[in-house]
Amino acid sequence: VWVPGEVTNQYFYDDNGAPAKRVAISVQPLSGRLHDTSKNLLNSLSSPRNTSAAFGPDQFRATRWMTVRGQRGQPSSVIEFSDYYDARTVLKDKLLMEKIGVNQIMEHDLVLIEARIGRYNSEPAGEARGKKRVMNNWQTFYDLQAIYLIQNASGECRFYCVAPILILASAVAAPVVADDLMI
């Protein structure tokens, strides 16, 4: 799932400056339709309907667990999220794109969020666990895969930004009317 929007909040490091166990980014989608479509998608795949914190009033939120299990009794470790790409010139295969640091993505920047839909068992803790358990109740969420910087809040963009954004917005949801865009 790709959602273009303006960064409203991000959490990649804890209060001590160490990589966070669970990273998160929230954006205000370019259109109300994008928000509604992404929210309805999660709701339709949850059983019962999704009650996660993936959406604020006008927000899209993607998260990702960054812990790696230790082997044979070793403690788990936290890896740093590093899939930030500079798409101010062109959006192409990630292997061909320049990576940037998290410090280059600020509030109000225009970004493209790439996420997968994940799910987790929302059964009460006392219910049966293990490989043979039946998942009758689950919640869905957007699992963050990558962040593409399209335009800085200062307006720095290395190519004509509006046309690609219109294409992205219309590809993600139903056709978007120009009045719906917050550019």
Each domain of the chain, given as residue ranges in start order, spans 2-180
Confidence check: pLDDT of 36 > 80: yes
55-74: per-residue pLDDT in tens? Answer: 566 789 999 999 988 788 78
Please give the CATH architecture assigned to the domain spanning 2-180: Beta Barrel (2.40)
Mention every residue, 6+ apart, whose C-beta is less than 8 A from residue 101: 84
Does residue 162 register a pLDDT over 70?
Answer: no
Which residue type occupies 94? K
Mean of pLDDT over the chain? 79
Query: 123-127, 139-143, 148-152 — which one is most confidently predicted on average?
Result: 148-152
Smallest CA-to-CA distance from 25 within 112, 89, 152 is with 112
Where residue 50 falls among pLDDT bands split at 50, 70, 90? low
Q: For residue 176, is pLDDT > 60?
A: no
Q: What does the alpha-carbon distance between residue 23 and residue 156 come to, in Å, rounded to a whole number?
A: 26
> pLDDT tens digits, residue range 85-100?
999 998 999 999 999 9
Give the C-alpha separation, 98 to 87, whole Å. Answer: 8
Q: What letter represents residue 120's amino acid?
A: Y
pTM of the model: 0.76
pLDDT of residue 137: 77
Q: Exposed, middle or buried, 85 (CB in 10 Å: 0-12/13-18/19+)?
A: buried
